[in-house]
Structure 1
Amino acid sequence: MSTTTRPTIWVAYGPTGVVGTVRKDDDGYTVMMAGAAASAGTYPTMEIAKRALHARMRPGSDWPQFREH
């Protein structure tokens, strides 16, 4: 009998709205920027994924707010 883990998603909000998401699954934490066709990578920890998402935002952007959904 196998166990399937349901993915957890955090939505990242900047001052103008949604800037991206981080999805936790069996492979790690996958970053998807808003409007992108492909992921920005999968990372081993949530903190690294958050930093990767922020690094892909417009230079000088404030740290986004992450909300679990």
Structure 2
Amino acid sequence: MSDTTLELHTWVAFGPAGALGSIHSTSEGFAVKLLADSEWSAPFPSLEVAKSAFYARLVPGSDWPEFKEH
């Protein structure tokens, strides 16, 4: 995501133990990053797709995170 510009919208994902990562809107879509990740994902075309991709990166059996816009 080095050539992608981050915009003003951020959604932080929370699980039972606290923050898990975030989704940022960009000029190209929505980028995903878990706290353990060193880099952002390639952009996804919509927020809903980005949320699904975020969830898919969690440990199997995890609860759906709560996404809060900041």
Q: Normalising to structure 1: TM-score of the pair?
A: 0.86
Q: Normalising to structure 2: TM-score of the pair?
A: 0.85
Q: Is residue 33–residue 40 contact of structure 1 (8 Å, CA) maintained in 2?
A: no
- 1:19-50 deviation line (CA, Å, top 9, x unaligned): 11000121110001113111133100000000
Higher-Rg member (1/2) = 1
Between the aligned partners of 1:6 and 1:36, the Cα distance in structure 2 is 20
Q: What is the number of residues matched between the two proteins?
A: 65
Between the aligned partners of 2:51 and 2:7, the Cα distance in structure 1 is 20
Q: Match of 1:27? A: 28
Structure 1: gaps (5+ residues): none
CA RMSD between the two structures: 1.4
Structure 2: gaps (5+ residues): 1-5
1:40 partner amino acid: S
Percent sequence identity is 38
Q: Match of 2:60? A: 59
